[in-house]
Structure 1
Amino acid sequence: SCGGTMHDYWGVGKATKEMLPMIAVPTTSGTGSETQSFALISDSDTHVKMACGDPKAACRVAVLDPLLTVSQPPGVTALTGMDAITHALETFVCKKSTPISECYSLEAWQRLTSGFPGVLSEPDNIACRSEMQLGACFAGMAIEASMLGGAHALANPITAYLGTPHGQAVGMMMPHIVRFNSIAVGDRYARLMRMVDPLNPPSSDPSGALFALLQGLLRESGLCTSLRQLAGWPTSDHDEKTFILKMAELAAKQWTGAFNPRPLSVSDFVDLYLAAL
């Protein structure tokens, strides 16, 4: 609508005129982009994700029909579901979280954690599909009102260098960023775990319980839990060490990492990748 290249719109409010109206009809339950005014475009040379946001880019209408998500292949259901769950988690604890965004994050978390196991075991379960679609939508609204965090910064280099689907990459790294963040936002993770099982909340190590929950969802989804399980991962110790440093340096350049509740350095990213081996 406005001409030029995507680089011209990197940032916020760069659209020069009104854009064509959009109506979103999601067929997956993942990004929640139907409620957002941002597009994330990867630079083909640097692999840095450019966040291009403008209110003019928001959809005018979003139609959520869970029947349209039933035909997803199981792998797509798993990948998009894990992505939505990480959105709910990261928006709840990020530096830009607000009382308003927290309402969206918590509603998303409640619906996603109850609906995800159901769509994995019963793909035709419309009630669970509805929970997932609404949960992903609320998580998208939470992103629009706040931001993401370290798991997305860790995931982007994995996708850029290995071609790993985003849901796999971010889902795999989310448990490890939970452990890293626990000293800063452990009380928030405890609140999330109380929502999962109000009658038997973890008392001693809620962050560890959340770590285990996320790892369990990955396994239940048939997704990888270790970097070494990914296609294209280096096979020699030397190549692996070099590759991890390369990924850590790119992760440190990702804009989402700046909003993580605990500061992240290149060495922190290295340690997090090592933890995920």
Structure 2
Amino acid sequence: MNELGFFKNPTQITYGLGAANQLRNIIDQQGYKNVLIITDSGIVKTGLIDQLTRQFDNINYAIFDGTKPNPTVENCEAALELLTEINAEAVVAMGGGSSIDVAKAVCLLSTNEGSIVGYEGIDTCSNDLLPLIAIPTTAGTASEVTTFTVITDEERQYKFTVGGIRLAPKWALVDPMVTKSLPSHITAATGLDALVHALESYTSKMATPISKALAREAIRKISGNLRQAVYNGDNITARDNMLMGSLLAGLAFNNTRLGNCHALSHPVSAIYGVPHGVANSILIPHVMEFNALAVPELFSDIAEDMGENLAGMTLMERAHAAVNAVKKLSKDINIPSDFSHYNVDESQLDRMAKDALLSGNIAVNPRKTTYDDVINLYKKSIGGVKVGTI
């Protein structure tokens, strides 16, 4: 008998072409008169914010576009100051996971005192948050439906997580059309990040029948469409499948957490500034090789979902075929194979390993993981000659 456990999805999702145009309906239904838009400068340059604000006739709004790729405590404080100036009743986040993460933090701080640093952990705030409407522009983080926000404390060079049911956006407007302007290299990195979400959710110790079904469909959609989305960004079918795959993966890992890959990626991003999606993409083959010995049957499923020819293979051969499939996909879309371009070296290994082991994702990884295991995984991902940061 299947033991379900639990499944949560507190966000109301509107999905489809033109979903972003439903924003004004929500604003009018709720009676909001003052709204803060949180985004980044890259999204502003695409013209997407101009399109969005055409829905804001007779609405007082301000735009915070200072979000960094790895959002910081300072980002949150600056956006909160602007929210306070206009007395915003709701927040609209348009962008990738970084903008939505800042928006979550701002919505928390608007109704709870102190710095976001003080809310690290799960269910650490007492008051309900300001309402958040999330419009993702990447098929990557699925932050539009998750109950977590990840913020970088630059003073400590440390990424920390704030979580809890209150962190989930109240509404998500998930529109494939707004992802068409995404550059190919960001499409690649965020798409691999979404695949990692699905892979780690499917193999998580907390996986349930519902989460597994969502994760497997996400694996099929992402692995079958990411190449097309990268090399033909106007292919709306590929963009649609990628965004749906990202959303399904988010709904899955929101209930299962993730695994070693995400635990190890956060210190690399916090210390060396490696983009989150790139960090996950570099680490995931090594983490998969490590985990395949513990749950080869799950990795066999992944190989099948990624379209590998498994005829005549043993169980372990099928499991390793999943690793090779991910490596091939990464290579095809020009994801770096190691961290050599980011000056990551062995000088920070001890610090990174200790930070990684603080993550709750380690506990749900399918294979028990020690300090030495983390060190070895980092060493495999570092690469050879170090060059200037890109």
Does TM, normalized by the shorter one, top 0.5? yes
Q: Distance in 1 between matches of 2:177 and 2:257?
A: 30
2:134 corresponding residue in structure 1: 24
Question: Cα–Cα, structure 1 residues 208 and 224, in superposed 2: closer, same or farther, change >3 Å?
Answer: same
Q: Does 1:212 align with 2:324?
A: yes
Equivalent residues of 1:35, 1:58 under 8 A apart = yes
Q: Does 1:131 align with 2:241?
A: yes
Q: Does 1:232 align with 2:232?
A: no
The total of aligned residue pairs comes to 270
Q: Distance in 2 between matches of 1:175 and 1:221?
A: 15
SS in 1 for 2:294: helix
Q: Distance in 2 between matches of 1:57 and 1:265?
A: 31
Question: Cα–Cα, structure 1 residues 202 and 8, in superposed 2: closer, same or farther, change >3 Å?
Answer: farther
Q: Distance in 2 between matches of 1:151 and 1:112?
A: 18
Q: Distance in 1 between matches of 2:363 and 2:155?
A: 22
Q: How does 1:1-277 map onto structure 2 within 5 Å?
A: 1=110, 2-197=112-307, 200=310, 203-204=313-314, 205-228=317-340, 230-233=341-344, 240-276=345-381, 277=383
SS in 2 for 1:223: coil
Please state how far the C-alpha of 1:201 moved relative to its aligned partner.
5.3
Question: Cα–Cα, structure 1 residues 16 and 81, in superposed 2: closer, same or farther, change >3 Å?
Answer: same
- Percent identical among aligned pairs is 31
SS in 1 for 2:129: coil
Equivalent residues of 1:113, 1:196 under 8 A apart = yes
Please state how far the C-alpha of 1:169 moved relative to its aligned partner.
0.7
- Name the aligned partner's letter for residue 28 of structure 1: T
Equivalent residues of 1:48, 1:253 under 8 A apart = no
Equivalent residues of 1:190, 1:202 under 8 A apart = no
- Name the aligned partner's letter for residue 159 of structure 1: S
Q: Distance in 2 between matches of 1:258 and 1:201?
A: 34
Please state how far the C-alpha of 1:173 moved relative to its aligned partner.
0.6
SS in 2 for 1:35: coil
Choose between structure 1 and 2 for higher RCO, CA contacts under 8 A separated by at least 6 residues: 1
- Name the aligned partner's letter for residue 91 of structure 1: S
Q: Distance in 1 between matches of 2:330 and 2:309?
A: 24
1:237 corresponding residue in structure 2: none
**More helix per residue:** 1
Q: Distance in 2 between matches of 1:54 and 1:250?
A: 21
Q: Distance in 1 between matches of 2:327 and 2:176?
A: 26
Equivalent residues of 1:41, 1:50 under 8 A apart = yes
Equivalent residues of 2:264, 2:353 under 8 A apart = yes
Equivalent residues of 2:141, 2:193 under 8 A apart = yes
Please state how far the C-alpha of 1:246 moved relative to its aligned partner.
3.4
Q: Distance in 1 between matches of 2:349 and 2:251?
A: 33
Q: Distance in 2 between matches of 1:267 and 1:26?
A: 37
Report which stretch shifted further, 40-49 or 183-192.
40-49
Please state how far the C-alpha of 1:42 moved relative to its aligned partner.
2.7
Q: Distance in 1 between matches of 2:331 and 2:308?
A: 24
1:236 corresponding residue in structure 2: none
Equivalent residues of 1:100, 1:145 under 8 A apart = no
CA RMSD of aligned residues (A): 1.8
TM-score (norm 1): 0.91
Question: Cα–Cα, structure 1 residues 175 and 198, in superposed 2: closer, same or farther, change >3 Å?
Answer: closer
Instruction: Kindly name which structure, 1 or 2, has the bigger radius of gyration based on alpha carbons.
Output: 2
Unaligned runs of 5+ in 1: 234-239
- Name the aligned partner's letter for residue 264 of structure 1: T
Please state how far the C-alpha of 1:30 moved relative to its aligned partner.
0.4
SS in 2 for 1:63: strand
**More strand per residue:** 2
SS in 2 for 1:207: helix
SS in 2 for 1:135: helix
Please state how far the C-alpha of 1:61 moved relative to its aligned partner.
1.6
TM-score (norm 2): 0.66
Question: Cα–Cα, structure 1 residues 157 and 18, in superposed 2: closer, same or farther, change >3 Å?
Answer: closer
SS in 1 for 2:144: helix
SS in 1 for 2:326: helix
